[in-house]
Amino acid sequence: MSRLTSLPMEFDRGVATTVHQGDCLVTRDQDVTYSTVLGSCISACVRDRVANVGGMNHFLLAEQSGPARDRSAASARYGAFAMEQLINKVLSEGTGRKSNLEIKVFGGGKINAILNDVGAKNIDFVRQFLADEGYVALSEDLGGTYARRVLFRPYSGRAFVKRLDSNAAETVAREEVAIARSKILAPSRTDDVELF
């Protein structure tokens, strides 16, 4: 992982694909760069180092809460589903060997008082998930009071993190709060909405 002020040449060519909240993308294309912007959200970058297959996810919350937890609809906006989905996709498109996986995790910033503990809960979740599954993160850039842009080259496994200024962090925080307030989290009826 690199934290530089200018973009390394490797990340300045090829196809850039944005990974949005709830996405889980995997490829073996050597010209693809996955890109995302994180506030309190977490992104994991998982790569099969033998098959040169890798991917990135982006989740908002560690887990569903309240009535949404009891519903059957799984969503990649939640950590457990997002992590299992990404690891399983990389395993199925790669060698299928857990021992060949490299994992890097990013995000969980405290960038807004309304989302005060979301980033910390996400960090605790992802660390516990990896430990429970027998994985160790190869590298991480978690926490802090800033938003970050993460670029990941699945083929090579290289990651680049740029910490964003306070103006960008405010924009990310507003977007996360808006999403949190507007999303229907796994609805069972049209009149049933859960906000966190």
**Residue spans per domain, the chain:** 9-182
116 band by pLDDT with thresholds 50, 70 and 90: low
Give the pLDDT score at 190: 35
The rounded distance, in Å, linking the Cα atoms of 13 and 33 is: 9
The rounded distance, in Å, linking the Cα atoms of 193 and 116 is: 22
The rounded distance, in Å, linking the Cα atoms of 185 and 71 is: 10
Give the pLDDT score at 6: 61
Q: Share the mean pLDDT of the chain.
A: 82
The rounded distance, in Å, linking the Cα atoms of 110 and 13 is: 32
**Looking at the predicted structure, is the pLDDT value of residue 38 above 80?**
yes
Q: Is 64 exposed, middle or buried (0-12, 13-18, 19+ CB in 10 A)?
A: buried
**Looking at the predicted structure, is the pLDDT value of residue 2 above 60?**
no
Residue range 9-182 in CATH 3.30.1330.200: yes
Residues 6+ away with beta carbon under 8 Å from 7: 151, 160
Look at residues 131, 96, 108, 115 and name the one whose alpha carbon lies nearest to residue 42: 108
**Looking at the predicted structure, is the pLDDT value of residue 195 above 50?**
no
Give the pLDDT score at 73: 44
List pLDDT tens digits, range 143-168. Answer: 998 999 999 999 999 999 999 877 76
